[in-house]
Structure 1
Amino acid sequence: MPKATTDRFSRAHRPSVKQTSLSSATHGASLVTRNPMFNTERFGQHILKNPQISEESVHANVKPTDTVLEVGPGTGNLTVRILEKAKSVVAIEMDPRMAAELTKRVQGTGAQKRLHIMIGDFVKADLPFFDICISNTPYQISSPLIFRLLSHRPLFRVAILMFQKEFAMRLVARPGSPLWSRLSANVQLYAKVDHVRAVSRNNFRPPPQVDSSVVRLVPLDPPPPVKFEEFDGLTRIVFSRRNKTVHANFAAKGVLAMLESNWRTWCSEKDITITDEEDFKKKVESILEESGYGAKRAASLDVDDFLKLLSAFHDCGIHFA
């Protein structure tokens, strides 16, 4: 039986009599349109119906020794292709009815013992070991999925992920481009991201309102020795107005007060005395000037620039988390 990741999804729904009477020929993508019980849009899920895209995702990346984590398998059009090549597959599905269909699809085949289904929320699930992740990602969990994967240990080898095109383009954006953003920098701190191919909305059932793109994500091994909360805290400030100077963004309302509170906490923990003559604003302005980043704009800074700026603040005891 599929394993539930939360109590809410402790049991898979039993298929209806009408559903059971359908022949095996109706299984897969066609079942989604014939049976209205599969309201895939409820979970932001659109079933990939183009076999060529599925085969490209599998054959170029999956090895016979791989354990594959698949997020949002739906009725299993991609899953069965992965099972043809991989050692085993762990599929995480939000919809118990889809999980039941996927279970039936492999029942009685040699792949049955190599498929493990978890029913529930990927973001909350206890992820097992896996070598590669393949996902036709429900749009509403795109960002949580990326950072859930990047925080997973041990590190996986590669992830092949399909996202809404605009989101994918932000992931692979480079400094100086219009799409370079806090998301771009935060992801590229921990992984190499490449665009694989564009996917038209017509390759899905039901078709979404936007096109998609496939990206390839390879985590850096070893990962940089930087706390994500610190790096994200810095990029949150600098990208708050990406076309303003870094100095202007640090002067925004509430930023200095938050950083000073963090600094005073750090000094207290280190038993460092703060004198009445300390001018925190001048301290921050001095760091920005001496580092050379105060007059620059977020849109032009790369990951190394952010790391250097973060290090300059840390050297003075100023933290962002």
Structure 2
Amino acid sequence: MPKVRAARQTRQHTQRCQQGIMFEKDKGQHILKNPLIINSMIEKSALRPTDVVLEVGPGTGNMTVKLIDQCKKVVACEIDTRLVAELQKRVQGTPAARKLEVIVGDVLKTDLPFFDVCVANLPYKISSPFVFKLLLHRPFFRCAVLMFQQEFAQRLVAKPGEKLYCRLSVNTQLLARVDHLMKVGKNNFRPPPKVESSVVRIEPRNPPPPINFQEWDGMLRILFTRKNKTLSAIFRTKGVLELLEKNYRIHQSLTDTMVPEDFDIKSHVLKILGESEKTELRPRCLDVDSFLSLLEIFNRNSIHFA
């Protein structure tokens, strides 16, 4: 077996060297090689000839060259200068070169340009921060068709009560409509990743809900740290009450409102929960609308999470 494994590794090394690229797994470099998957992702993005498309992690350009055929311009963001050179070489001297702009650098540290649609086979380790960078980007884009690790994709679309339902699910579904499009096996990549993948379509809600996102996310962080407990149990926790009392006093001072000497944060919070009629509910079973109404009644009674 060791000889077989060594022979296989040597063969893979030779193939990569012939292609001029040694892919680095620690950078999430798993190049999508199946043209049917690439075509399907582009089809699901419903491109228009006038569209500017953002592609993150274009790799050697297998998807890029097909995107260019169907849109006005592709802006490709790539951190690896070797792959940038390979991509530019691929279109050099062709009409496609005029329709390609390459941004070299870390997409999480880069100001995103204007774009209509985002299509990408993302490095999986940046999935969560990139999704929120995308959803908070302005002006609004029309949609994004993105490849993720399968479990991450399942978290994005999870519904209340399901095992994978979490803060990520609620935050994403607050800001966008999210649809699971297809599963993609590991053998569709070079080199194959250790996990299965999925393609998801994200369509931002425009306009977004009129809430303070820091308040919203502050509340969700508290609730999903203890998602299987009842709201009543969560808001009786000493650490949570101390945080809420600190915020309460800060906000009251900002409005020059006196806090009574006998003020008791626990009684105040439990009274609000009683009015919400959600005392015995658990975060893992609440939908976006329920969280919105909970935040509204807390804020209306001067309880803040940020």
Look up the SS of the partner of 2:232 in the other structure: helix
Structure 1 or 2: larger helix share? 2
Look up the SS of the partner of 1:144 in the other structure: helix
Deviation at 1:175, TM superposition (A): 1.0
Question: Which of residues 148, 155, 164 is equivalent to 2:149?
Answer: 164
Deviation at 1:42, TM superposition (A): 3.0
Q: How many residues end up aligned between the 2 structures?
A: 292
Percent identity at matched positions? 53
Look up the SS of the partner of 1:70 in the other structure: strand
Question: Which of residues 243, 250, 260 is equivalent to 1:275?
Answer: 260
For residues 296 and 65 of structure 1, what CA distance do their matches in structure 2 show?
48
Two-structure CA RMSD over aligned residues (Å): 1.4
Please tell me whether the aligned partners of residues 23 and 30 of structure 2 are also in contact (alpha carbons under 8 angstroms).
Answer: no
The corresponding residue for 1:21 is none
After superposition, the C-alpha distances for 1:15-67 in whole angstroms (9 at most, x for unaligned) are xxxxxxxxxxxxxxx97464575333131121000000111111332111110
The corresponding residue for 1:86 is 71
- Return the letter of the residue paired with 2:93: G
Q: Is it true that 1:176 corresponds to 2:168 in the alignment?
A: no
- TM-aligned CA distance change 1:115 to 1:157, over 3 Å: same
Question: Which of residues 32, 41, 44 is equivalent to 1:57?
Answer: 41
The corresponding residue for 2:244 is 259
For residues 314 and 108 of structure 1, what CA distance do their matches in structure 2 show?
59
- TM-aligned CA distance change 1:32 to 1:252, over 3 Å: farther
After superposition, the C-alpha distances for 1:45-103 in whole angstroms (9 at most, x for unaligned) are 21000000111111332111110000000000000110010110000001111011101
Please tell me whether the aligned partners of residues 150 and 190 of structure 1 are also in contact (alpha carbons under 8 angstroms).
Answer: yes
Q: How does 1:1-321 map to 2 (within 5 A)?
A: 32=16, 34=18, 38-60=22-44, 61-321=46-306
The corresponding residue for 1:23 is none
For residues 282 and 19 of structure 2, what CA distance do their matches in structure 1 show?
53
Look up the SS of the partner of 2:95 in the other structure: coil
Please tell me whether the aligned partners of residues 32 and 205 of structure 1 are also in contact (alpha carbons under 8 angstroms).
Answer: no
For residues 141 and 193 of structure 1, what CA distance do their matches in structure 2 show?
18
After superposition, the C-alpha distances for 1:116-163 in whole angstroms (9 at most, x for unaligned) are 001111111011110000111111100001000001000000000110
Please, which runs of 5 or more residues in structure 1 have no aligned partner? 1-29
For residues 35 and 21 of structure 2, what CA distance do their matches in structure 1 show?
24
Please tell me whether the aligned partners of residues 23 and 191 of structure 2 are also in contact (alpha carbons under 8 angstroms).
Answer: no
Mean Cα deviation higher: 244-253 or 204-213: 244-253
Deviation at 1:248, TM superposition (A): 1.5
Please tell me whether the aligned partners of residues 172 and 184 of structure 1 are also in contact (alpha carbons under 8 angstroms).
Answer: yes
Q: TM-score, normalised by structure 2?
A: 0.92
